[in-house]
Amino acid sequence: MLKKALPWFVFALLGIILVVGFAAKDKLNNYISKIMKEQATPEEVISGAALVDSLYNYTKSGAAYEVTFLEFGALNCAACKQMETVMEQVKHDYATKINVVFINTMLPENMMMVKHFAIAAIPTQILLDKKGKEFFRHVGAISTLDILAKANSK
């Protein structure tokens, strides 16, 4: 009897773990991001902030963009592939208002940005205001309408 019940018990336990994990994924991502920020050295924090300021602070640079849409992902990620159409549509429809930037998390030259924004999972979308300050973050695929609603709310 135990031999017949054990596989069902293991199956049920795995199912419960999956449901709890899925329900707590946002809290887990936030927790991991918090730990990543705490572990960053002062040099990494300063250099990351300086890089973001130099690239995305449009009040200093004089660029006409109102918002920066940062898409953190990878080329071989299925959910990231879904975001390609969203990025293209935003880039096409709001070319003068929203600066759309894809950051490949697999490239070593992008690690400073990944660390600065404490990216724990991909795809992650971050919206920056005209001064380069984060005002929205989302993990996972998101629709064009949702991105635009958040971008226009700033």
Nearest to 100 by CA among 113, 114, 84: 84
Query: Is pLDDT larger for residue 141 or for residue 44?
Result: 141
Residue 118 is classified by DSSP as T
CB 87 within 8 A of CB 102: yes
Please give the average per-residue pLDDT across 48-75, as a whole number.
94
Sign of the dihedral through C-alpha 72, 42, 154, 23:
positive
Question: Which CATH architecture does the domain made up of 41-153 adopt?
Answer: 3-Layer(aba) Sandwich (3.40)
Least confident of 22-26, 36-40, 109-113: 22-26
Structure tokens, 79: 């959910």
Q: Cα–Cα distances in Å, from 84 out to 17, 67, 106, 139, 144?
A: 31, 18, 17, 15, 10
pLDDT beyond 80 at 2: no
In the chain, where the domains are located: 1-39, 41-153
Percentage of the chain modeled with pLDDT above 70: 98
Indicate yes or no: pTM above 0.85: no
pLDDT exceeds 80 at position 24: no
